[in-house]
Amino acid sequence: MTQRTRIKICGLTREADVDAAVQAGADAVGFVLYEKSPRHVSPARAAELARQLPPFVTPVALLVNASDAEIAAAIAAMPLALLQFHGDESPQRCEAASRPYLRAARMSEAFDLLDFATQFSNAQAILLDAHVEGYGGGGKVFDWSLIPANVPSPVVLSGGLHAGNVTEGILQVRPWAVDVSSGVEAAKGIKDAALIRRFCDAVREADARIAISET
């Protein structure tokens, strides 16, 4: 049976964008709690937005080298959120919160993804993003051929995805999920409902093509 590719829309800041993501069929929505990001929201604001989510749509709290107090504030504001660690956090740091988490990997030719995934074997999934200056994702596509075929964890494909390339990304990588932020925006932190719909449609097109190829 063909696995359906899950969809995460990240960097939401407005109620209308949460509604658009849900209506388009997103499985998860991400709130950036990293203050240096143009998509930053406070834990309180993220909690307001997360309260709009229906059952079975997962809120994700994106953190970058956060302090104990910042992690505690995120969990207190959104007790049902999946944590996403996007900085230099160690496995021990990620696991200290005793919460399910995603671990972001910054892909480059020199990066050993298999070793990284082994270190973070308790992560729900490894999110693959481009290696850029700074943290939190840079909207850049990396070379998908760098991804080994035998990653021991579920993979979330991220980094510069949009409706025009996500179908090919899924066909090539066969990830558990895909993650998009800038690729569905009208401006930084302002999502475009039509772009979200087109992105989700392109994901479903990829899944349909895989299903046909496997019959």
The answer to whether the beta carbons of residues 31 and 58 sit under 8 Å apart is no
The answer to whether 10 is a known catalytic residue is yes
Q: What residue numbers bound the domain in which 71 lies?
A: 6-213
Interval 19-28: pLDDT, tens: 999 999 999 9
Domain of residue 19, CATH code: 3.20.20.70
**List 17, 27, 94, 129, catalytic entry:** 129
Number of domains in the chain: 1
Q: Identify which of 136, 178, 135, 172 has the alpha carbon closest to the alpha carbon of residue 155.
A: 178
129 DSSP β-pair partners:
106
Residue with tokens 């049902």: 80
Q: Looking at the domain assignment, is residue 1 inside a domain?
A: no
Residue with tokens 């490894």: 126
Interval 102-137: pLDDT, tens: 999 999 999 999 999 999 999 999 999 986 665 555
Interval 7-47: pLDDT, tens: 999 999 999 999 999 999 999 999 999 999 999 999 999 99
Residues 5, 7: Cα–Cα separation, whole Å? 7
pLDDT at 81 over 70: yes
The first and second tokens of residue 82, run together, are 């999946």
**List 10, 17, 27, 94, catalytic entry:** 10
Residue with tokens 């709690």: 33
pLDDT at 177 over 60: yes
The answer to whether the beta carbons of residues 180 and 162 sit under 8 Å apart is yes
Q: Identify which of 24, 91, 17 has the alpha carbon closest to the alpha carbon of residue 48.
A: 17
Q: Rounded to 5 degrees, what are φ and ψ at 6?
A: -75, 155
